[in-house]
Structure 1
Amino acid sequence: MLKKFTLIISVMLACGWSANAQSFNITDYGAVAGGQTLNTQFIQKAVDAAAAKGGGKVIVPQGIFLTGTIHLKSNVEFFLDKGAILTGSTNLSDYERTDRWYAILIADKQSNIKITGYGTIDGQGKALAKNVIKLVKNGAIIDEFKLNRPDEHLRPQLIEIQNSAHVQIKHVTLKDAACWVQTYNKCTDLLIDSINVQSTAFWNNDGIDVVDCKDVKIKNCNINAADDGICLKSSDRASACQNIEISNCRVRSSASAIKFGTASLGGFKQINVHDIEIYDTYRVAIALEIVDGGTMEDVIVSNINARNTGGAIFIRLGQRKGDIPGILRRVNISNVTVDIPKGKPDAGYDIAGPPEEDIYPHNLLPTEIVGLPGHPVRDVKLENINITYGGGADKKHAFVSLDSLASIPERASEYPEFSMFGELPAWGIYARHAENIQLKNVTIRYKETDFRAAIVMDDVKKLIVDGLNIPTASTDAVIVLRKVSNEVIKKLKTPVAAKKAVVRKL
């Protein structure tokens, strides 16, 4: 019994837990509410005092507290009380950075960090970004100013934690960053639980970015983001995102809701995404991308309910960086329901997705599984999938003949997006350069007539279709196969007789 008790105490101390952890109220160190006084030094004093005692709870009480960058430290819980608003300064000079980003809350090489409570961190992103733009235009900052906006690294985030272990972010509201809302880079044992992200202040407002982290749980979160909702990235070829679970979240995005990439040097391994509600999302519900030479494998996506999204699923193996393409294999997606409207899904939001029609004109886009010649996407299974498309495609708007499938561009080195190929010859599912693709109990339909084939498979080795229901079709060529070998198609239901429904092209 004594050994067991000693073990429990040892674990508690290792994790920075203490039954008698001290509290450090920032007002006791000089912080003043009201939103006018810059409280950076006073809040930092409270954090430093807690760290000097071996850990403790730094309390931001009710009120508006203006601040620049605060450096979090090991064994310190940063707690925002109900009604507390930690407001980021709109002056870039009030911020410090890691070797990567400016942010309000920063930690590097720390352990046992918590950001908790029922208050709000408000980045004042719109005003802050405008002030950064002024600095660029006045010549105070040198920047290429691409796409009429300053570089991401010049626009502070709310949270930037890197090279740290045992990190918890719970319950807080994160509002209006000038760039990505929060980034966790090379962290282990990361928990993000029950947070509320509301950030539509400026471009690149990703909701959550996890970069090359291991042992991560993201759950019970509500995300409303002007860019990708929950995004996994890999910026180090020697590292990867690994052993990550994303569950029970509600996500809206003016880009993609759940995305792996685009940075994908190391890759993504053993990822489980389940029980996600997605709505009003400009691009796709699920985007899985390897374009920088990394490896994506052992990915499970299940129980996804998406309504009013631009697309359902986008799986892409490209070659943006690296001597050879990476590897994308062993992806299992199941129990997914998606409703894709005819119109723009995120119309009316503050920062809506940019118009892409001028670059690559297209009708509504299908689910896409696309590799490269000689480097296929492998071992993808879609099971219990139900996708409804708005339909209404118009040949005058965009058209690709089924006799010219080879003309669809590869665009191996381009930025990966579901619209990158422009118009596609299928309205439901399009796969190219793939191997061992399984469709089991899949239903796809449209609301308004679409002149295209429902499914096009091009350069696919080993195709298994077991239960495919396509209740709507306006052409005899429902399924088109080009350079497809070793295929099995059974339990096919279409308005067209099976002998006519499946068509081969050279």
Structure 2
Amino acid sequence: MKYFFKIFFAVLLPGFTSITVSAQIKTYNIKHYGAIADVKINNTAAIQKAIDEASANGGGRVLVPAGKFVTGVINLKSNVELHIDKNAFLLGSAIRADYGEGKASPLIVSNNQRHIAITGQGTIDGQGLDLLKDIYRRLNAGTLADTEWRKPNPWHQMRPTEDNRPKLIEFKGCDDINIKDITIKNGLCWIQNYKNCSNLVIDSIKVESVTYWNNDGIDIVDCKNVKLTNSFFNAADDGICLKSEDRDGACENIYVANCRVRSSASAVKFGTASHGAFKKITIRNISVYDTYRSAIAIETVDGATLEDIDIRDITATNTGNALVIRLGHRNQKVPAGILRRVYIGNVKVDVPAGKPDAGYTMEGPLVTIPHNVFPSSITGIPGSRVEDVTLENITINYAGGAKKERAYFGIDTLEKVPERIPNYPEFSMFGELPAWGFYIRHADGIMIKNMVLTCKGTDYRPAFIADDVKGLSLTGLSIPQVKRTPVILLNKVSGLVLKNIRIPGNAEKNIKAQ
């Protein structure tokens, strides 16, 4: 049955055009085009026919009604809303050949289209485990080419290349996108990838992407005017990830708020692909739990300019690292990037002694080098320094429990901390660091206001180290447990401001400048 409804839409985020639209929209039920709710039947042709007709007629709602409908690759076109109804399941085919020859196509694609949407309270299920069985079967039989299969990699994971693991959603060069209320689950690669898109609104979605490695919850790549709110991500890789893959592109005017994230990598991450720019990014009210790596990872290593970042109200429990800010130089073909004007405020993170994602189906790979609990860090490189970072109202609680025999080196050997200029950026990239709470190197204009660092267990390292920093302001830094002296070590620091430092015991022993 075809019916009509009115849609009213308004966007108030700065950078968007404020529009209110009232229009009658025709509904195209995929069952009327031959789709059958049977897990043994592939409905690709029927679903695509409904989409094509809706688009040709000027637009409409393509309805996936209650039931389980299997599909291969479908192409979403301009002015079409794919609506997955309550108790409806759009199931990705479990046959690798249904994603095309050569590189596997994503399940739902859209290129250079406008006014598109995926809505409804139903589920997109990639059936990743069943698809993986088919991929393995073909690989073992020698009927599927793969450049990485059985090839050693730094993570000690035997896995097929991404070319054989389809994403679930990939939109490129699209404008005016609305993703709302849906559940997306069981992919084999990035769950959803939005690249070079504009005016993208994502609200109240649920992502369960723990089927396999590289299951980022969402990747926003060189997009402008994005609003992501009220959503949940449980990911075997990064939860919410901003990337820049185009030297002339940028992630710009991005707003992320009121989301909950669990990840076997990092919860909110900028990078690692960082070729163009990240500008005017606002993050608000993110809850993180059981996350292996960082609650917040801000990284530019391929030449990108990263600036004007405002992050507030982050709470993370059982998370391996609070914060990493890294300016590196992985892409040696271009100059190192710029990282400046970052504000992070109202953050509380509890860092355990053990592995935060232990017991999950797909855990993050173990760090094989000897190490104790890793501190938060801000690090540039010689000649390319992190600039103008403000951290305010930050509390990081460490379980502690360090051991000297795990790669101990003294505070008089700071030069032994490797630079790792071209390396993949990560909070563990330097190996053991000489501080248990916070480590800063090669940075200018660092302002810390009201930071609390606690450590329940033993530790042999200073709590806070700044090495080669120009313009360091520490106001209201509180370190209530003295594990060893000095508690704060400042090496090659100029333009120092110290106010209201709260450390028990002798101030001269607790703060050392050299």
Q: Would you say how many aligned residue pairs link Structure 1 and Structure 2?
A: 492
Contact 1:133-1:149 at 8 Å conserved across structures: no
1:347 corresponds, among 326, 340, 358, to 358
2:313 corresponds, among 292, 297, 303, to 303
Cross-structure match for 1:4: none
Cross-structure match for 1:190: 200
Cross-structure match for 2:326: 316
One-letter amino acid of the counterpart of residue 50, structure 1: A
Q: How far, CA to CA, are the matches of 1:347 and 1:223 in structure 2?
A: 18
Q: How far, CA to CA, are the matches of 2:130 and 2:423 in structure 1?
A: 32
Cross-structure match for 1:504: 513
State yes or no: 1:129 paired with 2:132.
Answer: yes
**Closer, same or farther: CA 179–16 of 1 in aligned 2, 3 Å:** farther
Q: How far, CA to CA, are the matches of 1:157 and 1:102 in structure 2?
A: 7
Cross-structure match for 2:72: 68
* Mapping of residues 415-434 of structure 1, within 5 Å: 415-434=424-443
Q: How large is the RMSD of aligned CA atoms in angstroms? A: 1.8
Deviations 1:306-343 (A, max 9, x none): 11100000000011104321000000000000011111
Contact 2:119-2:179 at 8 Å conserved across structures: yes
Unaligned runs of 5+ in 1: 1-7
* Mapping of residues 46-195 of structure 1, within 5 Å: 46-96=50-100, 102-139=105-142, 140-145=144-149, 146=151, 147-195=157-205
Contact 1:476-1:496 at 8 Å conserved across structures: no
2:450 corresponds, among 434, 441, 456, to 441
One-letter amino acid of the counterpart of residue 138, structure 1: A
* Mapping of residues 375-390 of structure 1, within 5 Å: 375-390=384-399
Cross-structure match for 2:376: 367
Cross-structure match for 2:345: 334
Shift of 1:15: 8.0
One-letter amino acid of the counterpart of residue 266, structure 1: G
**Closer, same or farther: CA 156–211 of 1 in aligned 2, 3 Å:** same
Q: How far, CA to CA, are the matches of 1:165 and 1:49 in structure 2?
A: 20
**Closer, same or farther: CA 17–96 of 1 in aligned 2, 3 Å:** farther
Q: How far, CA to CA, are the matches of 1:288 and 1:100 in structure 2?
A: 30
Shift of 1:96: 4.5
Cross-structure match for 1:247: 257
Contact 1:450-1:474 at 8 Å conserved across structures: yes
Contact 1:282-1:346 at 8 Å conserved across structures: yes
Q: How far, CA to CA, are the matches of 1:219 and 1:442 in structure 2?
A: 28
SS of alignment partner, residue 399 of structure 2: strand
Structure 1 runs of 4+ with >6 Å offset: none
Contact 1:129-1:202 at 8 Å conserved across structures: no
- Greater CA drift, 119-128 or 133-142: 133-142
One-letter amino acid of the counterpart of residue 96, structure 2: L
Deviations 1:363-393 (A, max 9, x none): 1111110100111111111100011001011
- Greater CA drift, 86-95 or 23-32: 86-95
SS of alignment partner, residue 83 of structure 2: strand
SS of alignment partner, residue 405 of structure 1: helix
Shift of 1:136: 3.4
Q: How far, CA to CA, are the matches of 1:355 and 1:410 in structure 2?
A: 22
State yes or no: 1:32 paired with 2:41.
Answer: no
Q: How far, CA to CA, are the matches of 1:268 and 1:454 in structure 2?
A: 31
**Closer, same or farther: CA 289–154 of 1 in aligned 2, 3 Å:** same
Deviations 1:475-495 (A, max 9, x none): 121011111111111100011
Shift of 1:500: 1.5
Q: What is the TM-score when the length of structure 1 is the normalising length?
A: 0.94
Shift of 1:196: 0.3
**Percent of aligned pairs sharing the same letter:** 52
One-letter amino acid of the counterpart of residue 239, structure 1: G
* Mapping of residues 186-225 of structure 1, within 5 Å: 186-225=196-235
Q: How far, CA to CA, are the matches of 1:150 and 1:300 in structure 2?
A: 38
Contact 1:15-1:166 at 8 Å conserved across structures: no
SS of alignment partner, residue 20 of structure 1: strand
Q: How far, CA to CA, are the matches of 2:53 and 2:66 in structure 1?
A: 21
Shift of 1:49: 1.1
Q: How far, CA to CA, are the matches of 1:460 and 1:385 in structure 2?
A: 20
Contact 2:146-2:160 at 8 Å conserved across structures: no
SS of alignment partner, residue 133 of structure 2: helix
One-letter amino acid of the counterpart of residue 25, structure 2: A
Contact 1:369-1:432 at 8 Å conserved across structures: yes
Shift of 1:90: 1.2
